[in-house]
Amino acid sequence: MTIEELGFNDWFRTRCDPETLKSYRIARIVSVFRDQYTIIGEIGKAPAEITGKLMFNADSALDYPAVGDWVYVEYFDNDTMAIIHRIFPRKTLLKRKTPGKTVDFQLIAANIDTALIMQSMDSNYNLARLERYLVMVNEAGIEPIILLSKRDLITDEKQEMIISEIQQRTGVSSILSFSNISKIGIEEINRILSPKTTYCLLGSSGVGKSSLMNRLCGEEILKTREVREADGRGRHTTSTRQMFFLANGAMIIDTPGMRELGNFDIDTGISETFNEIDALARQCKFSDCTHVHEKGCAVLQALKENTISCERYQNYLKMKKEAAYYEMSYLEKRKRDKNFAKVVKNVMKNKPYKA
């Protein structure tokens, strides 16, 4: 398999470092599990580790490889192992806030062309959650396609209502519905997947991502578990970010289900996802308007006139507030980390030399 078949195109070719290519080869990260990587290049797959230098120079999680990254590698042990020396510039990067109280970035996938955002159409259908995914995808500058699963569990009328609601609220027109059980809609999804193109499958636990991957690949490559009757939720089965190759040459990165979807550094994503509210915000009397209580607020006026939905307005405010809080916490964390690094550097510098 050539690197071109793996998605290496002119965008990356123009960013190659000729000097680095004299010593290393080009490969792509196809799986990440903690600090363990698997790469693929023109000589095949191999487990890989990053160099100590790359690790030492990393300022944050953003400086580590993600699934989909292009990297410069050095092979050894008869090309059965590899060392990752450098990461190529990224065309796109999907990231979110790490789950829990820690405020840092968690890398999801890099160099994605199209994001496949999955939502189930049963009781777990949630428009506010869908908007969160769209903010993350739009921030990265990635084209979204929405996949609606469990089509067999609802009526045609209910399906039409859901699709219409999503289109009206988000503006996304590329929406496909399907069923992993009856296989309705699977062929339509197959038809939109193009060779040499990288897709990323996103969605919460239980929406049927693993089952869809098995259908698209034509075999059971991922384990699935039974859906609980009590709440219709499947159990989380994917724990590794991994790239799969379809028969037609398309590539799909499967990701673990996301129970939390906090984020920060998402101004562009919020502006694009809530573009009608963002346009109104620019008409407000005050440039620092919070859109909560100020006089002359164009957003509040639109809310009063029912030209924007209350639910969408509330989700917009909630995400803006969360992002501002996380950004402040992240900046404070980076400041503490830098101060600590300076202390360590001074200690090592003044440490007595032992012969």
For range 101-111, the mean pLDDT: 84
Distances 49 to 114, 202, 315 between C-alpha atoms, Å: 28, 26, 41
Bigger pLDDT: 39 vs 220: 39
The pLDDT, as a whole number, for residue 324 is 82
For range 124-135, the mean pLDDT: 92
Bigger pLDDT: 63 vs 102: 63
Question: Strand 25-33 relative to strand 44-50: parallel, antiparallel, unpaired?
Answer: unpaired
Q: Kindly report the CATH number that applies to the domain delimited by 267-343.
A: 1.10.40.50
What the block records as the tokens of 281 is 């915000």
Q: Which of 75, 50, 74, 72 is nearest to 63 (CA)?
A: 50
- Residue 211 above 80 pLDDT? yes
What the block records as the tokens of 323 is 């992002």
For range 73-87, the mean pLDDT: 95
Which overall architecture, per CATH, does domain 93-254 show? Answer: 3-Layer(aba) Sandwich (3.40)
Q: Taking the model in full, what pTM does it have?
A: 0.85
Share of the chain above pLDDT 90, in %: 69
- Residue 228 above 60 pLDDT? no
- Residue 350 above 70 pLDDT? no
Would you put residue 232 in left (φ > 0), alpha (ψ -120 to 50) or beta?
A: left
The pLDDT, as a whole number, for residue 330 is 73
pLDDT tens-digit profile of 145-201? Answer: 999 999 999 999 999 999 999 999 999 999 999 999 999 999 999 999 999 999 999
The pLDDT, as a whole number, for residue 161 is 96
For range 85-110, the mean pLDDT: 87
Residues in the chain: 355
pLDDT band at 230 (very low <50, low <70, confident <90, very high): very low
- Candidates 2.40.50.140, 2.40.160.40, 3.40.50.720, 3.30.70.100; CATH matching 10-87: 2.40.50.140
The reply to whether 93-254 and 267-343 are identical in fold is: no
pLDDT band at 96 (very low <50, low <70, confident <90, very high): confident
Helix (H) or strand (E) holding 350: helix 310-350
Specify the 3-state DSSP secondary structure of 97: strand
The pLDDT, as a whole number, for residue 151 is 94
Q: Which residue has the tokens 């009063």?
A: 304
Helix axes 127-139, 310-350, angle to 10 degrees: 50
Chain-centre distance for alpha carbon 319: 17
- Residue 231 above 60 pLDDT? no
Q: Work out the widest C-alpha separation in the chain, in whole angstroms.
A: 81
The pLDDT, as a whole number, for residue 66 is 97
For range 4-29, the mean pLDDT: 96
The pLDDT, as a whole number, for residue 220 is 73
Among 210-214, 230-234, 242-246, the range scoring the smallest mean pLDDT is 230-234
pLDDT tens-digit profile of 279-328? Answer: 999 999 999 999 999 999 999 999 999 999 999 999 999 988 888 877 77
User: Average pLDDT over the chain, rounded to whole?
Assistant: 87
Q: What phi and psi values does residue 339 have, to the nearest 5 degrees?
A: -65, -40
pLDDT band at 338 (very low <50, low <70, confident <90, very high): low
- Residue 209 above 60 pLDDT? yes
Specify the 3-state DSSP secondary structure of 209: helix
pLDDT band at 222 (very low <50, low <70, confident <90, very high): low
Q: Which stretches of 51-207 are assigned E, i.e. beta strand?
A: 70-76, 81-87, 93-97, 105-110, 114-120, 143-149, 175-177, 198-202
- Residue 226 above 70 pLDDT? no
Bigger pLDDT: 330 vs 44: 44
For range 46-61, the mean pLDDT: 93
Q: Could you please report the per-residue DSSP string of 133-155?
A: HHHHHHHTT-EEEEEEE-GGGS-
**What is the domain partition of the chain in residue ranges?**
10-87, 93-254, 267-343
The pLDDT, as a whole number, for residue 334 is 65
